[in-house]
A and B are shown apart, each in its own frame.
Chain A
Amino acid sequence: MSVMFPSSEWTVEFQKALNTNPVYAEAARNWEGDFYFIVTNIPGQPDPTTMYADLYHGKCRAAELVDDDSVYNPAFRMTAPIGVWRKVIEKKMDPIQGLLTRQLKLHGDMVTIMKNVKAAKELVNSLSTIDTQFPS
């Protein structure tokens, strides 16, 4: 059954997708760093809408929708309009090209990202395995 993006239900599916992706688990085995995924320009929803993911050593330890983004102080924040997220989730945009063209904006320690390109790519690839609906 498809789930709406972004939503609490979607974060549950995201956590499942990461924790059942052996390629991600292997690529991110040394990864330590949590994320905010920030979605802007969503029709009929608060702008921005923020999802949190606690990523540690190849596993997603927690994922949730957050109402107040001061709740956490994650190591990384990835921000994009919903149209860009949709392209990534539907595999119409290579996430690394999205970062290089700055359509996906990433804030955090870039040294860590540049040393873990495969993990970053697999993380975003996991999004595309979720059966997702988008607000019209």
Chain B
Amino acid sequence: MWYFQAPTVVYGEDALSHLSTLEGTRALIVTDANMAKLGVVDRIRQPLEDGGFAVEVFAEVEPDPDTETVSRAAEKARDFGADWIIGLGGGSPLDAAKMVRVLAERPDLTPQDVNPIVPMGLTNAVRLCTIPTTSGTGAEAGWACIITDRAEKRKLVLGSRDAFPDVAIVDPALAAGMPPWLTADTGMDALVHAIEIYTGSWHNDYVDGPALMSIRLVFDYLPRAYRDGSDMEAREKMANAATLAGFGLANANIGLAHALAHSLGGVFHPPHGRTTCVFLPYTMQFCIKDAPERYADIARFLGLPGETDAERAQALIEAVQQLQVEVGQPQDVRSLKIPEDQFHAEMDHLVASAEADATMFTSPRVPDSAEVARLFEYAYQGRAIDF
């Protein structure tokens, strides 16, 4: 037994106008300071007010939001009496909004209490709308929230299936303002999601199709969106690619590249998408030694060459590496500007955090502690995996 759950997705040109049709009275927009500064919040506020909402804004979500931030936002939601939480932004504000939606109704819980195992006992008193402004995290389509515990220097995979977004509004116009580097960082994140979902041990018939389509869209359209941010066809296809991969995030699981990236991110805080992208070729090299079949499937779908599964899987790794170069992504951890002495000083912590990460265990090949350390080391040095 398993589930396929997805929010209502409103997508395409003018999708934002759907906001004026939401039924409710008080909406809290959960976002970051940039969204307020760039005027994006006003583009959301207007249709909400047109629909009769009173609107408040919490624009204090930081990159890698922590437990304290989401608790403050939830307090604001309760004080305001919000019946809708509107998450607006990249992965951090959307993840924060998902947590706020739960805590707004359950003030007795801490963020760490919000887990998918125990029923949260939620009603529909507070509803959730997610509006991505980047094309990559897929956070708009799922229930998981990545929240940082700063005391432990760890990213926690929290969230509840009981707090699924009710509506995701995927309007490509919101992503049009992304600079090339952010287009690449987030677009590659979508690719890592889709590849890890398709190859992970929780893959299933319901997520395989969206994952494959997402992969194809990224290969076809990310270079165009990167070169020309005003190419609205490319923007729309990348927005769709991210949300399609998000269906997989919600209904299967990602894998080893994310476990390593979450661990590194908890300590050094490099951009999430760029970090997962750095790790992906290394983790693919590691996994195809045991299980090349699903990678070969993807290669077949993309029309990549190869006579055997191993050859096709290798062709996929090379295609990912070529795409990294084409969109200006770094190819080793050193290039993330993490000093080598600090990286090595934190190695024991990095290994322990990666092994405890909830995305590790669905990898097609699960490394032991020594292998995790070697994966970090090889990815730092830019060495091909040979174990």
Q: Which residues of A contact B (CB under 8 A)?
A: 23, 26-27, 94, 96-97, 99-103, 106-107, 110-111, 113-118, 121
CA–CA, A60 to B58, complex, Å?
A: 48
- Does B115 count as interface, using CB distance less than 8 angstroms? yes
Closest Cβ of chain A to B196, distance in Å, is: 16
* Smallest Cβ-Cβ distance to A93: which chain B residue: B1
Can you list 5 residue pairs at the A/B interface with Cβ under 8 Å? A94-B201, A97-B202, A103-B1, A106-B118, A114-B156
Name the A residues within 8 Å of B118 (CB-CB).
Answer: 106-107, 110
Name the A residues within 8 Å of B201 (CB-CB).
Answer: 94
Closest Cβ of chain A to B347, distance in Å, is: 16
Contact with A along B214-230 (1 / 0, CB 8 A): 00000000000000000
CB-based contact A26/B357 at 8 Å: no
Scoring A23, A101, A118 by chain B CB atoms within 10 A of each residue's CB, the highest score goes to A118
- Does B157 count as interface, using CB distance less than 8 angstroms? yes
- Does B286 count as interface, using CB distance less than 8 angstroms? no
- With A97-B202, A101-B2 as known contacts, state yes or no: A110 contacts B115, CB within 8 Å: yes
CB-based contact A110/B117 at 8 Å: yes
CA–CA, A121 to B368, complex, Å?
A: 14
CA–CA, A102 to B117, complex, Å?
A: 6
- With A26-B368, A97-B2, A103-B1 as known contacts, state yes or no: A117 contacts B113, CB within 8 Å: no
Contact of B117 among A99, A118, A121 (CB under 8 A): A99
- Does B161 count as interface, using CB distance less than 8 angstroms? yes
Contact of A118 among B154, B161, B361 (CB under 8 A): B361
Contact of B358 among A27, A101, A114 (CB under 8 A): A114
Name the B residues within 8 Å of A97 (CB-CB).
Answer: 2, 202
CB-based contact B2/A114 at 8 Å: no
Name the A residues within 8 Å of B157 (CB-CB).
Answer: 114
- With A118-B355, A118-B356 as known contacts, state yes or no: A106 contacts B117, CB within 8 Å: yes
- Does B387 count as interface, using CB distance less than 8 angstroms? no
Contact of A111 among B2, B112, B202 (CB under 8 A): B112
- Does B121 count as interface, using CB distance less than 8 angstroms? no
Name the A residues within 8 Å of B356 (CB-CB).
Answer: 115-118
Closest Cβ of chain B to A79, distance in Å, is: 12
- Does B39 count as interface, using CB distance less than 8 angstroms? no
Closest Cβ of chain B to A106, distance in Å, is: 6
Closest Cβ of chain B to A104, distance in Å, is: 9
Contact of A100 among B112, B161, B357 (CB under 8 A): B161
CB-based contact B1/A101 at 8 Å: yes
Task: Count contacts on B: residues with CB < 8 A to the other chain.
Answer: 25
CB-based contact B119/A121 at 8 Å: no
* Smallest Cβ-Cβ distance to B359: which chain A residue: A117
CB within 8 Å of A: which of B1-58? 1-3
CB-based contact B115/A114 at 8 Å: yes
Closest Cβ of chain A to B121, distance in Å, is: 13
Scoring B118, B156, B157 by chain A CB atoms within 10 A of each residue's CB, the highest score goes to B118
CA–CA, A99 to B1, complex, Å?
A: 11
CB within 8 Å of A: which of B353-370? 355-358, 360-361, 368-369
Closest Cβ of chain A to B354, distance in Å, is: 10
Name the B residues within 8 Å of A102 (CB-CB).
Answer: 117, 119
Name the B residues within 8 Å of A110 (CB-CB).
Answer: 112-113, 115, 117-118
CA–CA, A27 to B161, complex, Å?
A: 27
- Does B158 count as interface, using CB distance less than 8 angstroms? yes
Scoring A110, A113, A114 by chain B CB atoms within 10 A of each residue's CB, the highest score goes to A114
* Smallest Cβ-Cβ distance to A96: which chain B residue: B361
CA–CA, A23 to B367, complex, Å?
A: 11
- Does B116 count as interface, using CB distance less than 8 angstroms? yes
Contact of A115 among B1, B119, B156, B368 (CB under 8 A): B156
Closest Cβ of chain A to B350, distance in Å, is: 15
CA–CA, A40 to B202, complex, Å?
A: 27
CA–CA, A54 to B39, complex, Å?
A: 57
CA–CA, A116 to B2, complex, Å?
A: 23
Name the A residues within 8 Å of B117 (CB-CB).
Answer: 99-100, 102, 106, 110, 113
CA–CA, A33 to B118, complex, Å?
A: 18
CA–CA, A19 to B2, complex, Å?
A: 32
CB-based contact B202/A117 at 8 Å: no
CB within 8 Å of A: which of B137-169? 154, 156-158, 161
CB-based contact B158/A114 at 8 Å: yes
Name the A residues within 8 Å of B113 (CB-CB).
Answer: 110-111
CA–CA, A117 to B118, complex, Å?
A: 15
The 8 nearest A-B residue pairs measured at CB: A110-B115, A111-B112, A117-B358, A99-B117, A121-B361, A100-B116, A118-B355, A101-B1
